[in-house]
Amino acid sequence: MARHLRTLRDLSSAEFNRVLNLARDVKQNPDAYREKLAGKAVAMIFAKPSTRTRVSFEVGIRQLGAQSLFLPYGGDSGLHLGRGETPHDTAKSLSRYVDAIVIRTFGQDEVDALAEHSAIPVINALTDRFYPCQVLADVMTMRERFGDDLRGKKLVFVGPGNNVTHSLLHAGPRVGFDVVVACPEVLPPSHQVLEIAREEALRVGTQVFVEHNARKAVKDAAVIYTDTWVSMGQERDAHSLRAKLTAYTVDDELMETAAPDAIFMHGLPARRGEEVMASVIDGRQSVVFDQAENRLHAQKALMLLLMGAEPWS
C-alpha cells in the first residue's frame, strides 16, 4: 500500500525526524542521491500559481534522476480533474502511468480523495488547509540554527490562522517545540486542528496555545514566523483581512521582544510593509531564503522515502 503525505499527521515523530535527517544528508551529499529515482516519473498537478513549490519540486525530481510532468488543473489545456472528472478516476489512471503525484490545490478533500484511490504516493504541495512541505523545510531550517534538539524552543506564528499555522501545529508536538499562534480573535486557526494539536502536545510534554496580544506572545520566542495576510483565493476579502490584522505586523520592535538569538521566518511570497517590515525580512535575523532553499532538500528526502528509494529506518 502506498504511503502518502496528506498532512504532517501522516508522519510519526520518528518518521518526521527521518525525513529531516535524510534531507540534511541530501543537502550535504547531493551526488550520492543523483540517480536514486532514475526511470521514475512524477505527475505535478497545480491548480494554484507557484514559484518555490513548482521550481523546487521540478529541480529536485530532475536531480534525483526522475522525470516531472507539469499538469495544469482544468482550463483548455489542463487535466480533466478540473473539468468534472472524479479524483477516483484521475488517481486510478495516473497510478498506471507515473510513480508519484504532487498536488497543489484548494481543497484538502481533493488531496484526500486522490490518496484514497491512488496506488502511488500522493504528496500535498499545498491546500487551503495544510502546507506540510513548507513546514518540513521550516523545521529543517530551525535545526540548522538551533541544533537537532528543539525541545524547549518557542515558535510564534503572528497572523491569521491558515494552512501554514495548521501544519506548524502538527509539527510542534512531533519535533518537540512549543507553538503559539498570535492572531486576532476573529481569525483563529481551525478549532479541530488546534484541539488535536493540544492533545498531541499534552502527550509529549510540549505546549500549544493561542494568544491575541502579539507582543505578549513573542516574549522570549526563538522563532517569529509570519505569512501573507491574503492567501490565494481570498482576494475579494483583502481589505477586510488587512483591517483586522493591522496590529500584527512583524516589525523591529516586535523582534526585540523575542530571544536575543531569535530568527524570523516567512514562507514567501511576502508583502513588505504589510505582514512584515522590510527591515526585518531583509535583516540579520531573517532566514527566509534558507527556508526557500531547504524546500528543495526536504522534498527530495520525502520523495526518496515515499517512493521507496530510501528506507524509513
- Asked if residue 155 and residue 125 are part of one domain, the reply reads no
pLDDT at 15: 98
- Asked if residue 175 and residue 190 are part of one domain, the reply reads yes
Q: Is residue 3 part of a domain?
A: no
pLDDT at 174: 98
- Asked if residue 236 and residue 164 are part of one domain, the reply reads yes
Cell of 257: 521582544
pLDDT tens sequence across 28-60: 999 999 999 999 999 999 999 999 999 999 999
pLDDT tens sequence across 137-178: 999 999 999 999 999 999 999 999 999 999 999 999 999 999
- Asked if residue 204 and residue 107 are part of one domain, the reply reads no
Q: How far apart are CA 205 and CA 202, in angstroms?
A: 5
Residue 38: what residue type?
A
- Asked if residue 153 and residue 117 are part of one domain, the reply reads no
Q: How far apart are CA 215 and CA 188, in angstroms?
A: 17
- Asked if residue 152 and residue 80 are part of one domain, the reply reads no
Rounded to the nearest 10 degrees, what angle do helices 132-146 and 288-306 cross at?
Answer: 120
| Count: domains in the chain | 2
pLDDT band at residue 237 using 50, 70 and 90 as cut-offs: confident
The answer, yes or no, to whether residue 105 has pLDDT greater than 90, is: yes
pLDDT band at residue 78 using 50, 70 and 90 as cut-offs: confident
Q: Is residue 25 part of a domain?
A: yes
Q: Is residue 80 part of a domain?
A: yes
pLDDT band at residue 235 using 50, 70 and 90 as cut-offs: confident
Q: Is residue 311 part of a domain?
A: no
E-assigned strand segments in 96-198: 100-104, 122-126, 154-158, 178-182
Residue 208: what residue type?
V
- Asked if residue 151 and residue 110 are part of one domain, the reply reads no
What's the rounded mean pLDDT across residues 180-185?
A: 98
Asked if 6 contacts 127 with a C-beta cutoff of 8 angstroms, the reply is no
Is the previous residue joined to 160 through a cis bond, with omega within 30 degrees of 0? no
pLDDT at 238: 85
Q: What percent of the chain has pLDDT over 70?
A: 98
Q: How far apart are CA 83 and CA 71, in angstroms?
A: 13
- Asked if residue 178 and residue 215 are part of one domain, the reply reads yes
| pLDDT averaged over every residue in the chain | 96
The answer, yes or no, to whether residue 232 has pLDDT greater than 90, is: no
Q: Is residue 313 part of a domain?
A: no
CA 300, chain centre distance (Å): 14
Q: How far apart are CA 42 and CA 54, in angstroms?
A: 12
pLDDT at 76: 66
- Asked if residue 246 and residue 142 are part of one domain, the reply reads yes
Q: Is residue 245 part of a domain?
A: yes
Q: Is residue 71 part of a domain?
A: yes
Nearest to 257 by CA among 211, 219, 214: 219
What DSSP line would sit under 176-236, residue for residue? T-EEEEE--TTSPPPHHHHHHHHHHHHHHT--EEEES-HHHHTTT-SEEEE--SS-TT-GG
- Asked if residue 185 and residue 265 are part of one domain, the reply reads yes
pLDDT at 77: 65
pLDDT at 230: 87
Q: How far apart are CA 115 and CA 6, in angstroms?
A: 8
- Asked if residue 69 and residue 20 are part of one domain, the reply reads yes
Higher pLDDT, 84 or 285: 285
Q: What percent of the chain has pLDDT over 90?
A: 92
Q: How far apart are CA 134 and CA 163, in angstroms?
A: 10
- Asked if residue 260 and residue 192 are part of one domain, the reply reads yes
Domain holding 150, by residue range, is: 134-291
Nearest to 104 by CA among 37, 49, 182: 49
CATH number of domain containing 255: 3.40.50.1370
Q: Is residue 1 part of a domain?
A: no
